[in-house]
Structure 1
Amino acid sequence: MKKLTFLLLITLLCTTISQAQTKNCSIDYEEVTDSLSIKKTNNVLVYEFDRVSSTSSLFFSLITTNGVPFLNIQYLQKSPDFIPINCVARKSMVSIKLVNGTTISAHYIDEDKCDTYTYDQQGQKNIRILDANFYIKKEHLALLKQSPISLVQIRFAGSTELFVIESELKSTIVDVKTSPTRFFIDNIPCIE
């Protein structure tokens, strides 16, 4: 009986240690008070388009507010030419197609919002940045952890954009290397 208890204890300890080592979380911020609990993972580059004069980058992060999960997107566009405005409204959503064929939708539930505009005098480029949070159903978190991402489609207020997600991305703009298809697999454990 002592051997069985000892083996169970060792197995439990090894499992706990291996899970702690595989949960490599990169947290941007975390705040816990009596009435509020917020945690946000760092931004991860999941898509990049780089032409000579125009670039666009899509960053994802996960946020949990009092246990409610959100996908935060930051869509950054730079160009010397005019960049059409992108807005999100109540019907906006992010559709995530997984390699296993499952499609998960995250819905925008906040007030209507448009990207911000700025002009880079030195680089002589127009810059638009959209930062928005999309609600993810808790039951969808388990599905998102099961399979890598293959496609992401964002339905803005007046247009839709499709992003093909690569398994490895070496950025030419921000000098980072990421694994975009594994974003949810790697980051959901950090907010659970």
Structure 2
Amino acid sequence: MKKIALLFLLFVGFQSIAQEKFKEAQIDFHEKNDSIDVKKTVEYIMDEKIFGNRKEILNFSMVNDSGVLYLYMQLIEANSDFIPAKCIDKNAKVFIQLLNGKIVSLISTNDVCSQLLVNPDTHLNTRVLSNYFLFAKNNFEDLYESPIAMIRINYGTEHKDYVPKKELVSELTQYTYSPENYFINNLKAVY
């Protein structure tokens, strides 16, 4: 029950910081002192599929931890039917193909599997998969200049492709996002 409450707070918290239209980067937090400098952008809906009781939401945010840049990816799946687990191993990658034809690859930082949360009242199953992917020092310069054409995420033995839209009006939050230009609009805020 605590996990369900936590998931609800996650959705409510995300909606409360969202704006009518996400154009510029929004910083979730920035912690800086003598030994650390950590900056994180708010979660941003990159893809959303809602059909009947089935929901799938892909969120991104970026974290700069003292000069090391990470992509935080969160996949939330909800369905009244059973949802199989998805896992990402430490050797998995996220591939971001840009409209200019270049491909940027990010490396997983750890092994992780999705967590299952079940609402006993509605019998709604929810799986949440969260992981960090590391940018190489020289592989993100092109993200400043070109929109995203496709995102490929490796989940264990399978992969899934996401084609970001130029403009996405979320059914969940009722806000407008520009997933295709996510890095162009947000990268400068954290790096």
TM-score by length of structure 1 reads 0.84
1:152 aligns with 2:146: no
Give, as a single letter, the amino acid of the residue that structure 1 aligns with 2:107: H
Alignment-derived partner of residue 76 in structure 2: 76
Alignment-derived partner of residue 98 in structure 2: 98
Q: Which structure has the larger Rg over C-alpha atoms?
A: 1
Alignment-derived partner of residue 49 in structure 1: 49
Alignment-derived partner of residue 9 in structure 2: none
> Which structure dedicates a bigger proportion of its chain to helix?
1
* Equivalent-residue separation in structure 2 for 1:94 and 1:123 (angstroms): 34
1:191 aligns with 2:190: yes
* Deviation, structure 1 residue 121: 3.0
Q: Is the 8 A contact 2:104 2:140 kept in 1?
A: no
Give, as a single letter, the amino acid of the residue that structure 2 aligns with 1:63: V
* Equivalent-residue separation in structure 1 for 2:156 and 2:48 (angstroms): 22
Q: Counterparts in 2 of 1:8-87, with a 5 A limit?
A: 24-87=24-87
* Equivalent-residue separation in structure 2 for 1:37 and 1:137 (angstroms): 19
* Deviation, structure 1 residue 141: 2.2
Q: State the Cα deviation string for residues 105-126 of structure 1 (Å, max 9, x = none).
A: 111022x111111012343210
Give, as a single letter, the amino acid of the residue that structure 1 aligns with 2:95: S
Structure 2: segments with no counterpart, 5+ residues: 1-22
* Equivalent-residue separation in structure 1 for 2:120 and 2:180 (angstroms): 35
Alignment-derived partner of residue 136 in structure 2: 137
* Equivalent-residue separation in structure 1 for 2:99 and 2:184 (angstroms): 12
* Equivalent-residue separation in structure 2 for 1:54 and 1:122 (angstroms): 17
**C-alpha RMSD of the superposition:** 1.4
Q: Is the 8 A contact 1:141 1:188 kept in 2?
A: no
Q: Secondary structure at the match of 1:166?
A: coil
Q: Is the 8 A contact 1:91 1:157 kept in 2?
A: no
Q: State the Cα deviation string for residues 136-169 of structure 1 (Å, max 9, x = none).
A: 1122221111100111110012321111111000
1:163 aligns with 2:162: yes
Q: Secondary structure at the match of 1:123?
A: coil
* Equivalent-residue separation in structure 1 for 2:131 and 2:157 (angstroms): 16
* Equivalent-residue separation in structure 1 for 2:135 and 2:185 (angstroms): 16
Give, as a single letter, the amino acid of the residue that structure 2 aligns with 1:27: I
* Equivalent-residue separation in structure 2 for 1:141 and 1:134 (angstroms): 13
Q: Sequence identity of aligned pairs in percent?
A: 29
TM-score by length of structure 2 reads 0.84
